[in-house]
A and B are shown apart, each in its own frame.
Chain A
Amino acid sequence: MGVGSVKEVGPVQAEQMVLNIGPQHPSTHGVLRLKVKTDGEIVSEVIPYIGYLHRCFEKHAESITYEQVIPFTDRCDYIASMNNNFGYVVAMEELMDIKVPERVEYIRIIMAELNRIASHLLALGVYGLDVGAFTPFLHMFRDRERILDIFELTCGARLLYNYMWVGGVSHDLPRNFESICIDFLDYFEPNIPEFNELLTKNKIFIERTADVGVMPAEVAISYGVSGPNLRGSGVKWDVRRDEPYSIYNKFDFEIPVGTGEYGTLGDCWDRFWVRMLEMQESCKIIRQALKTIPEGGDVHAMVPKKIRPPKGSIYRRTESPRGDLGYYIISDGSEIPFRMKMRSPALTALSVLDEISAGWMISDVIAILGSLDIVLGEIDR
């Protein structure tokens, strides 16, 4: 080799490193393993490995009766069990053509919206933790506790309720429920501006989340991302309004969408902000429902003795706190489901992670993952 000969080299690149995050890691919100390929600190690919919490919900459902499926739906998304019950019973009632008493519809909506607030409180609080803010988490958990108290008062359980039945609910509302609920709302609503001061408008928080993990609307729709994540990208889509089920069309509420106030439309901050606004809308719905809820009547009036849906199939989706929660139920006319499929909104949210986190730093992947608000129980089922 002579002096002065230059060896051809390609573009400068650091050695690629593979980093495993999880399965046991506080920022993965459950048991999730992320295989992150990095170039220096820049992430080039994220491969999620799921299934650690797979409990064969769909297989089990094929050997138990329709009533017995309800507790399983609780355990799929344990953060928003009421909403999971709700989706299932709405699909079943549509399949069996049951019209439930109006009071039951009101009770269900109050419970579902309370659970939506509780779920969003957890999502927002834990998101603060993910990006390094400890205090808001405690504030939000304090308030979530009060919602769980209300649930305990109503049906005896704090997390897994088995509350909504096909054709009704398990218990009528307890005495004084209205005043307890109003008390809570009066206490809770003024706290939202406090959360905003603590976290939403915090300079460090904005630096960590604005412009990070931008998800354009087309990408979100193509990946089937739904709920607050889709609305964070500016798409005004809400199953409660666009494909109304139960009696949601009776209530007046806004559908908040992301605006890219501090960065680009569809960034982590937008997704966070949509959830914050949605809590306010849920409060609005609960207040309206409490005002007009009809008195009296048996909440078990339309509960069938034996659930035996006619032969056929149905796909029905509802708006859970995480997005479009769908149930595909196929009945062969017997007491046992022929096929039960749950379309998990968190699964689609996780599948988009690789697409939107390539090119960001490792610490941003944690911020992006947190902003998608996944629940592994629902992803693995």
Chain B
Amino acid sequence: MTSDQDTFIADAVEKALAGDMDAINSIEDRSIRGKAKAALVKAKRAAKAEQKSESSEESQGGGTPEEKVVQSSLSALLSSVYPDEIIEILNEGKVVQLKPQKWNEIATFFRDHADALLDQLECLTGVDLGTEEPLQVRYNLHSMKHRHKIEILINADRVKPEIPTVETIWRMADWFEREVYDMYGIVFTDHRDLRRLLCPEDWEGWPLRKDYEEQESYHGIVVPKVKEGWE
């Protein structure tokens, strides 16, 4: 029976890999269906790992050929002009970690250089990497003309977090930097109007840090703690 089952599952998985998901979905028995799905995931993962090792041999992976050229050229462009500012190039050139010192200059370069023209800041995210780790800000940049993207990571020290502002380069950063300041306490130097955005101005602490503790009371109102029994 078990060997029968195994071949049956193998069959179904093969069909599913070829694109016919119904082969698995139509299995009546729940436990067999579950097994088949697990086998499918495994098979897919194995196939993916294989693909990855193949593509890494071709040096640059990801997407259509045009996309490949653009992706690699953005990080290549950066490493040719500012080689000393790069800490690490990750994820096949889609993500670049930079030193904070010259960020403002690099941002202007990115926005104005004819091969980059990254005129849209898609998203600006603050991250706390853990209580022993530094804070980080991530910038997702996009070019409306060239339709290419790059993600920039910049670390900030936990005790005295400072990163140059890009508020005048992409105006969207104005409020998004204020939000990151509000939530993580990262000071964007030379920002013209760095106030808290969502929390009240006299709120204490930086709520999205991993080691955040609520203040006891706010203007005489007791700040509720996480109640016992809450998940």
Contact = CB atoms under 8 A, between A and B. Distances in A.
Contacts of B25: 101, 297-298, 301
A328 interface: yes
Interface string B161-200: 0000000001110110000000100000000000011111
B174 to A, nearest CB: 6
B122 A347 contact: no
A237 interface: yes
A221 interface: yes
A339 B127 contact: yes
B144 A235 contact: yes
B156 to A, nearest CB: 15
B78 interface: no
Given A221-B120, A301-B25, A326-B122, A54 B199 contact: yes
A51 B199 contact: yes
Nearest to A301: B25
Contacts of B101: none
Nearest to B212: A59
A224 B199 contact: no
Contacts of B128: 339
A16 interface: no
Interface string A18-42: 0000000000000000000000000
A185 interface: no
B198 A50 contact: yes
A254 interface: no
B140 A315 contact: yes
Contacts of B138: 328
Contacts of B121: 224
A58 B183 contact: yes
A238 interface: no
Interface residues of B, number: 33
B48 A221 contact: no
B180 to A, nearest CB: 10
Given A51-B197, A56-B207, A59-B207, A222 B119 contact: yes
A133 B121 CA distance: 37
B123 A328 contact: yes
Interface string B127-158: 11000000000101000100100010000000
B48 A222 contact: no
Interface string A296-310: 011001100000000
Interface of B: 21-22, 24-25, 44, 48, 119-123, 125, 127-128, 138, 140, 144, 147, 151, 170-172, 174-175, 183, 196-200, 207-208, 231
Interface of A: 50-51, 54, 56, 58-59, 62, 64, 97, 99, 101, 218-219, 221-224, 235, 237, 242, 297-298, 301-302, 315, 317, 324, 326, 328, 330, 339, 341, 343, 347-348, 351-352, 355, 380-381
The 10 closest A-B pairs by CB, nearest first: A224-B172, A51-B198, A343-B123, A222-B171, A351-B175, A54-B198, A341-B125, A301-B25, A328-B125, A223-B171
